[in-house]
A and B are shown apart, each in its own frame.
Chain A
Amino acid sequence: MAILTSAEKGPEPVVVPRSFFARMAEGDQVAHAITLTFAASVLLITTLLVVTLWTHSSLPRAKFGWAFFVGMVWDPVAEQFGARPFIYGTLITSAVSLVLAVPLGLGAAIFLAELASPKISDWLTFVVELLAAVPSVIYGLLGIFVVVPFVRTVLAPMLIASLGFLPLFRGPCYGVSFLAAGLVLAIMIVPFIVSVSREVLLAVPRDQREAALALGSTRWESTWKIVVPYALSGILGSVFLALARALGETVAVTMVVGNVPQIQASLLAPGYSIAAVIANEFVEATADIYLQALVELGLVLFLVTFILNGLARILILLTARHRGSPA
């Protein structure tokens, strides 16, 4: 831009014809306008989404107000609606999935980016990206036929026997549970973490590794103490992308979570999630306030995602500032 303006303002006649620059300038402006429109459309879609959710949930908002967030009862017959068990279930299943998927995904990404030979790395990355494209109903089937029986017959008895003193692992367990949902979600979001983290790790400049190695560090020290911290904000980005997927997942969760709107400390107990209850009840919801309560749940899910994403931004900013690097 600066070059162009100086060329336009240049007092002496230039050999290159001005019209060429003018046309270039026009092209820039056209490109600017087009990309701006596209960027604005994202904002517009988000705004429309919120406005639609807001206007289509006026009945329950008027009737329940803020109590909608803390209400424990979801009773379509008595038209009493509260979102608390669903919010709890959404947060717990997503948290379990992150606890399982982050170490797994990050470990795999480090291997693929730093340690594996390029041939193996490319091949494995292809497989991982294939996993990301599998429809969630397939993961749900995997969940109901493999994960749920595994949790009921193997994992839950083991956890109850060894860690049963913790309220987190109290029985009985029917298989369908927060834990089963967390496991299936973890399988679903690992590809996101692996794929994005690997790219971020590969983008770390070679000098960083060489400098560390030259100073006498081992391969692992250079990876863990230099490369990973350098790429940390990007890795966190991949984790929050995965979290967003876990929060909004519908079909796979509803197939394995048990669909019981309750709050229980035990991960082995069945629960419910926001996205799952919307998908389950929307089509057959006949009463107006019932339908609108489901729409308001959509608004709540949007809010939860919004808050978590905001926290994620702050976390990424903090890690960047802490390291003092321009990430």
Chain B
Amino acid sequence: MNRKIVVFSLVAVALAFAASAQAQGSGQVQLTGAGATFPYPIYSKWFDVYNKQKPNIQINYQSVGSGAGIRQVLSGTVDFGASDGPMTDEQLAQSKDGVLHFPTVLGSVVPTYNIPGVDKELNFTQAALAGIYLGNITKWNDPEITKSNPGVNLPADEIVVVHRSDGSGTSYIWTDFLSEASAEWKTKVGRNTSVNWPNGLGGKGNEGVSALVKQTPFSIGYVELIYALQTKLAYGRVQNSSGAFIKADLASTTAAAAAASKHMPEDFRISITNAAGKTAYPISSFTWLLIPGSIPDATKKSTLKDFLKWMLTDGQKYTQDLGYAPLPKEVVEMELKAIDKKIK
């Protein structure tokens, strides 16, 4: 009796496998990608909607982190990668046919703080943020902070600095901005997904940082704009390159990208932190899809091209609902041209 059941189930499993193998045979295209976690919600939305429109195309994406995404695209184990920071020249030199960068959406990082007795939105100059994170500004009533916040009674307490402990695109954008804001930061610390922080506590993930900030009086930290919006976290304004204090939102993030697009290089590897423009929020960044320079499989190549075009046009309308800033139209046009020219 038992043996019969075992045999029966084995046959059933074998049949199921055969059926799925057959389904794949009939014009099915499967693409696999891996990389950044920050854009994962919008990517999975895109792949899902695209699959509904073209049921024979299935795109799988693993949000394993930008570093792993870059490594997998270099080793050719995935059809495309994704990263929150552009690849370095050294990394590009490791690939035979090069790796193309295509910006997909934009993200911003915002300063969040917990000062008992202060519930006004604070204004931060670039020098103030750099000074706080370098450990040069140690008290909340430091002139560099008070001068941009007239009328706010800031206490003389020690500032507790909180940063991300895990390697992340968020830290990359934050340290990229601090490097733009302060020469001292650039030489002493630099920009990366993790750095040697001059001071402060580390929290794991956006939720770890925000939990630490909420719990620790007189602390300051930074989180992704999306996370702040979703959890209704209060955050401060940051001074941009034209001197205005800008509150981060989707419009001011897109404005930063539009301003930077005038200097857009051929390969789209550009940092838009501290971009010019009166309404541009200074701590913003693109996130990129990484496409191998040469795709031997003709079906995969045309599928990938079609998807990229769809993502840049129809796909962009899904971004705002999920809290991502859409690409400015200048950048979309440049990318559409580049898709046909560069993907070979």
Contacts and interface: CB of A to CB of B under 8 A. Distances in A.
A283 B204 contact: no
Contact of A174 (B165, B196, B201): B201
A75 B196 contact: yes
Given A260-B200, A286-B67, A286-B91, A176 B212 contact: yes
A245 interface: no
17 contacts: A76-B167, A77-B191, A77-B192, A152-B216, A172-B158, A174-B160, A175-B215, A175-B216, A259-B201, A259-B204, A260-B201, A260-B202, A280-B165, A284-B65, A285-B167, A286-B67, A286-B193
Contacts, number: 95
B66 interface: yes
Contact of B64 (A76, A276, A283, A286): A283
Interface of B: 64-68, 70-71, 88, 90-91, 158, 160, 165-169, 189-197, 200-204, 208, 211-212, 215-216
Contact of A76 (B70, B88, B196, B216): B196
A77 B179 CA distance: 12
A254 B190 contact: no
A270 interface: yes
Interface of A: 73-78, 80, 144-145, 148-149, 152, 172, 174-176, 254-255, 258-260, 270, 272, 276, 279-287, 291
A144 B64 CA distance: 25
Contacts of B165: 254, 259, 276, 280
Contacts of A287: 90
B204 A284 contact: no
A77 B196 contact: yes
Contact of B65 (A78, A270, A283): A283
Nearest to B63: A283
B201 A254 contact: no
A284 B66 contact: yes
Given A75-B195, A76-B195, A144-B211, A284 B202 contact: no
A76 B172 CA distance: 12
A174 B194 contact: no
B210 to A, nearest CB: 11
Contacts of A145: 211
Contacts of A291: 67
B168 to A, nearest CB: 6
A76 B203 contact: no
B280 to A, nearest CB: 26
A254 B91 contact: no
B70 A286 contact: yes
A254 B193 contact: no
A280 B167 contact: yes
Contacts of B169: 284
B167 A283 contact: yes
Nearest to A281: B167
Nearest to A148: B215
B167 A270 contact: no
Q: Which of A174, A270, A272 has the most CB of B within 10 A?
A: A174
Contacts of B191: 77
